[in-house]
Structure 1
Amino acid sequence: MADQAKRQLLGRERESAELERLLREVRGGRSRVLVVRGEAGVGKSALLDQLAGLAGPLQVVRAAGVEAEAEFAYSALQRLCAPLQDRLERLPEVQRDALRVAFGLSGGAAPEMLLVGMAVLGLFAEAAADAPLVCLVDDAQWLDLMSQRILAFVGRRLDAESVALVFAERAVDGAGDEGFAGLPDLVLRGLGDAEARALLDSVLPGPVDARVRDRIVAETGGNPLALLELPRGLSPAELAFGFGGPGAGPLATRVEDGFRRRVQALPADTRALLLVAAVEPVGDGPLLWDALRFLGVGPEAAAPAGELITVGAAVRFRHPLVRSAVWRGADATALRAAHRALAEATDGGRDPDRRAWHRAHAALGPDEEVAVELERSADRALARGGRAAAASFLERAAALTPDPKGRARRALAAADAYLTAGLTARVPDLLAAAELGALDPLQQAHVHRLRARVAALAGPELGVVRPLLDAADRLGALDPAAARETALMAFGAAIWAGRHDDGALRQVAGAARALPPGDEPAGILLRALAVWTTDGPAAAHAPLARALRAVPDIDDPALLWAAANAAAELGDLGAWLDVTERAVRSARTTGALSILSTALPHRAAALGFAGRLAEARGLLAGATAVENGAGLVMRLAATAGIGAYQGRERSALAAIGAAEREGERCGLGRLTATAAWARAVLHNGLGNYPLALEAALRGAEYQDLAVHQWTCGELVEAAVRAGDPAAAAGARERLAEWGRAGTPWALGARAVAEALAGPPEQAEDRYREAVGHFGAGGLGVFEARARLLFGEWLRRQNRRALARDELRAAYEEFARMGQEAFAERARRELLATGETVRKRAVGGPELTPQEAQIARLAAAGHPNAEIGAQLFLSPRTVEWHLRKVFAKLGVSNRRELSGALTGR
Structure 2
Amino acid sequence: MSASPLPHLVGRVDERATLDEVLACVRRGSSAVCVLRGGAGVGKSVLLDYVAAQASGITVTRALGVEADMELAYAGLQQLCAPFLGQADRLPEPQRDALQVAFGTAAGDPPARFLVGLAVLTLLTRASEARPVLVVVDDAHWLDRASLLTLEFVARRLLAESVALVAAVRDPEGSAALAGLDELRVDGLDPASAGELIDSAVDGRLEARVRDRVVAETHGNPLALLELYRGRSAAELSYGLDATRPEAVPDRVEEDFARRAGMLPSATRSLLLVAAAEPAGDTRLLLRAAEHLGVVPDAAPAKAAGLVEFGDAVRFRHPLARSAVYRSANPAERRAVHSALAWASDPVHDPDRRAWHAAQACDGPDEEAADGLERAADRARRRGGIAAEAVLLERATDLTPEPDRRGRRALTAAEAHFSAAALDRATAMATVADLCPLDATDRARVSRLRARVLFARSRSDEAAPLLLDAAAQLSAAGSPLARETYLEAISAAVFSGRVHGPAGVAAAATAATAARRPGAALGTSPSDSLLDAIATLLADGPEQGVGAVRAALGPFAHEELDGPESTLRWLLLAPVALEAFFHHAWDFVAWDEISARAVRLARGIGALGVLPTLLVYTAGVDVFHGDLDAAARKIEEADVIASATGNAPFTYASLVLTAWRGEERPALALFDDARTRATRRGEASLLAVTGYVQGVLCNGLARYADALDASRAVVEHDGFNFVGLSLIENVEAAVRCGEPHQAASSFARLDALTRVADTGWARGIRARCRALLSEGDEADRLYRAAIEHLDEDRVTAEVARAHLLYGEWLRREGRRRAAREHLRTAYDLFAAMPAAAFAERARRELAATGVKVRAPAEAIGARLTPQEAQIAALAAEGMTNPTIGAHLFLSPHTVEWHLRKVYTKLGIGSRRELAGVLALTAGGTPARV
* TM-score tier (shorter): over 0.9
Q: Determine which of 610, 614, 628 is the counterpart of 1:613.
A: 628
Partner SS state of residue 252, structure 1: helix
Query: What TM-score comes out, normalization by structure 2 length?
Result: 0.93
Matches within 5 A, 1:21-40: 21-40=21-40
| TM superposition shift of 1:70 | 5.1
Whole-Å separation in 2 of the counterparts to 1:772 and 1:677: 25
Partner SS state of residue 364, structure 1: coil
Whole-Å separation in 2 of the counterparts to 1:261 and 1:61: 34
After TM superposition, the structure 1 stretch with the greater mean CA deviation from structure 2, 389-398 or 537-546, is 537-546
Matches within 5 A, 1:248-259: 248-259=246-257
Partner SS state of residue 593, structure 1: coil
Whole-Å separation in 2 of the counterparts to 1:511 and 1:126: 54
Whole-Å separation in 2 of the counterparts to 1:253 and 1:477: 55
Counterpart residue number, 2:274: 276
After TM superposition, the structure 1 stretch with the greater mean CA deviation from structure 2, 593-602 or 220-229, is 593-602
Whole-Å separation in 2 of the counterparts to 1:324 and 1:273: 14
Gaps of at least 5 residues in structure 2 are 562-566, 922-929
Inter-CA distance 315–848: structure 2 relative to 1 (3 Å threshold): same
Q: Does 1:893 align with 2:910?
A: yes
Q: Does 1:287 align with 2:282?
A: no
Partner SS state of residue 164, structure 2: strand
For residues 122-157 of structure 1, give each alpha carbon's deviation from its aligned partner in whole angstroms, at most 9, with x where no partner exists. Answer: 111111112111111111110110000001001011
Q: Does 1:380 align with 2:397?
A: no
Q: 2:694, 2:710 within 8 Å by CA — same for their partners in 1?
A: yes
For residues 256-293 of structure 1, give each alpha carbon's deviation from its aligned partner in whole angstroms, at most 9, with x where no partner exists. Answer: 12211111122222111111111111111111111111
For residues 339-387 of structure 1, give each alpha carbon's deviation from its aligned partner in whole angstroms, at most 9, with x where no partner exists. Answer: 1111111111121110111110011111121112111111111111111
After TM superposition, the structure 1 stretch with the greater mean CA deviation from structure 2, 799-808 or 11-20, is 799-808
Inter-CA distance 256–50: structure 2 relative to 1 (3 Å threshold): same
| TM superposition shift of 1:696 | 0.7
For residues 492-547 of structure 1, give each alpha carbon's deviation from its aligned partner in whole angstroms, at most 9, with x where no partner exists. Answer: 22222235974422432332232135344564444444444444334322122134
Partner SS state of residue 636, structure 2: helix
| TM superposition shift of 1:49 | 1.4
Inter-CA distance 499–887: structure 2 relative to 1 (3 Å threshold): same
Q: 1:457, 1:630 within 8 Å by CA — same for their partners in 2?
A: no
Counterpart residue number, 2:106: 106
Whole-Å separation in 1 of the counterparts to 2:870 and 2:267: 63
Q: Determine which of 560, 578, 582 is the counterpart of 2:574.
A: 560
Partner SS state of residue 594, structure 1: coil
Inter-CA distance 198–82: structure 2 relative to 1 (3 Å threshold): same
Partner SS state of residue 208, structure 1: coil
Whole-Å separation in 1 of the counterparts to 2:340 and 2:461: 52
Q: 2:6, 2:54 within 8 Å by CA — same for their partners in 1?
A: no
Whole-Å separation in 2 of the counterparts to 1:633 and 1:144: 24
Q: Determine which of 769, 792, 801 is the counterpart of 2:785.
A: 769
| TM superposition shift of 1:437 | 2.9
Query: What TM-score comes out, normalization by structure 1 length?
Result: 0.95
Q: 2:638, 2:649 within 8 Å by CA — same for their partners in 1?
A: no
Q: Does 1:861 align with 2:860?
A: no
Partner SS state of residue 109, structure 1: coil
Q: 1:485, 1:523 within 8 Å by CA — same for their partners in 2?
A: no
Q: 1:488, 1:558 within 8 Å by CA — same for their partners in 2?
A: no
Whole-Å separation in 2 of the counterparts to 1:867 and 1:772: 37
For residues 741-797 of structure 1, give each alpha carbon's deviation from its aligned partner in whole angstroms, at most 9, with x where no partner exists. Answer: 111221111111022122343222222222222222121211222222222222223
Whole-Å separation in 2 of the counterparts to 1:778 and 1:328: 69
Inter-CA distance 704–452: structure 2 relative to 1 (3 Å threshold): same
Whole-Å separation in 2 of the counterparts to 1:872 and 1:69: 32
Inter-CA distance 373–313: structure 2 relative to 1 (3 Å threshold): same
After TM superposition, the structure 1 stretch with the greater mean CA deviation from structure 2, 519-528 or 459-468, is 519-528
Whole-Å separation in 2 of the counterparts to 1:860 and 1:809: 29
Whole-Å separation in 2 of the counterparts to 1:418 and 1:659: 30
| TM superposition shift of 1:323 | 1.1
For residues 289-310 of structure 1, give each alpha carbon's deviation from its aligned partner in whole angstroms, at most 9, with x where no partner exists. Answer: 1111122222334334332111
After TM superposition, the structure 1 stretch with the greater mean CA deviation from structure 2, 272-281 or 439-448, is 439-448
Q: Does 1:513 align with 2:513?
A: yes
Gaps of at least 5 residues in structure 1 are none
Partner SS state of residue 136, structure 1: strand
Partner SS state of residue 316, structure 1: strand
Counterpart residue number, 1:391: 390
Partner SS state of residue 476, structure 1: helix
Matched to 1:191, the amino acid is L
After TM superposition, the structure 1 stretch with the greater mean CA deviation from structure 2, 142-151 or 711-720, is 711-720
Whole-Å separation in 1 of the counterparts to 2:840 and 2:24: 46
Matched to 1:399, the amino acid is D
| TM superposition shift of 1:241 | 6.7
Matches within 5 A, 1:812-827: 812-827=828-843
Whole-Å separation in 1 of the counterparts to 2:67 and 2:859: 52
Matches within 5 A, 1:212-611: 212-232=210-230, 234=232, 236=234, 239-240=237-238, 248-306=246-304, 307-458=306-457, 460-499=459-498, 502-505=501-504, 506-516=506-516, 518=522, 519-521=524-526, 523-551=528-556, 552=559, 555-556=568-569, 558-568=572-582, 569-611=584-626
Whole-Å separation in 2 of the counterparts to 1:659 and 1:241: 64
Matched to 1:860, the amino acid is E
Partner SS state of residue 62, structure 2: strand
Partner SS state of residue 135, structure 1: strand
Whole-Å separation in 2 of the counterparts to 1:245 and 1:587: 62
Matches within 5 A, 1:13-24: 13-24=13-24
Q: 1:794, 1:803 within 8 Å by CA — same for their partners in 2?
A: yes
Inter-CA distance 686–52: structure 2 relative to 1 (3 Å threshold): same
Counterpart residue number, 1:724: 739
After TM superposition, the structure 1 stretch with the greater mean CA deviation from structure 2, 592-601 or 270-279, is 592-601
Q: Determine which of 629, 632, 642 is the counterpart of 2:657.
A: 642
Matched to 2:284, the amino acid is P
Counterpart residue number, 2:844: 828
Q: 2:60, 2:133 within 8 Å by CA — same for their partners in 1?
A: yes
Q: 1:117, 1:154 within 8 Å by CA — same for their partners in 2?
A: yes
Q: 1:91, 1:123 within 8 Å by CA — same for their partners in 2?
A: yes
Whole-Å separation in 1 of the counterparts to 2:299 and 2:118: 46
Whole-Å separation in 2 of the counterparts to 1:508 and 1:84: 51
Counterpart residue number, 1:778: 794
Partner SS state of residue 35, structure 2: strand
Inter-CA distance 619–477: structure 2 relative to 1 (3 Å threshold): same
Inter-CA distance 356–631: structure 2 relative to 1 (3 Å threshold): closer
Whole-Å separation in 2 of the counterparts to 1:21 and 1:654: 38
Partner SS state of residue 320, structure 2: helix
Whole-Å separation in 2 of the counterparts to 1:18 and 1:212: 33
Inter-CA distance 616–161: structure 2 relative to 1 (3 Å threshold): same
Matches within 5 A, 1:123-134: 123-134=123-134
After TM superposition, the structure 1 stretch with the greater mean CA deviation from structure 2, 192-201 or 634-643, is 634-643
| TM superposition shift of 1:160 | 0.6
Whole-Å separation in 1 of the counterparts to 2:267 and 2:353: 24
Q: 1:375, 1:394 within 8 Å by CA — same for their partners in 2?
A: yes
| TM superposition shift of 1:186 | 0.8
Matches within 5 A, 1:92-241: 92-173=92-173, 176-232=174-230, 234=232, 236=234, 239-240=237-238
Matches within 5 A, 1:36-75: 36-68=36-68, 71-75=71-75
Partner SS state of residue 350, structure 1: coil
Counterpart residue number, 1:745: 761
| TM superposition shift of 1:428 | 2.0
Whole-Å separation in 1 of the counterparts to 2:53 and 2:91: 30
Counterpart residue number, 2:926: none
After TM superposition, the structure 1 stretch with the greater mean CA deviation from structure 2, 807-816 or 319-328, is 807-816
Q: 2:37, 2:170 within 8 Å by CA — same for their partners in 1?
A: yes
Whole-Å separation in 2 of the counterparts to 1:347 and 1:494: 51
Partner SS state of residue 105, structure 2: coil
| TM superposition shift of 1:243 | 8.8
Q: 2:115, 2:606 within 8 Å by CA — same for their partners in 1?
A: yes
Matched to 2:712, the amino acid is L
Partner SS state of residue 424, structure 2: coil
Equivalent pairs: percent with the same residue?
47
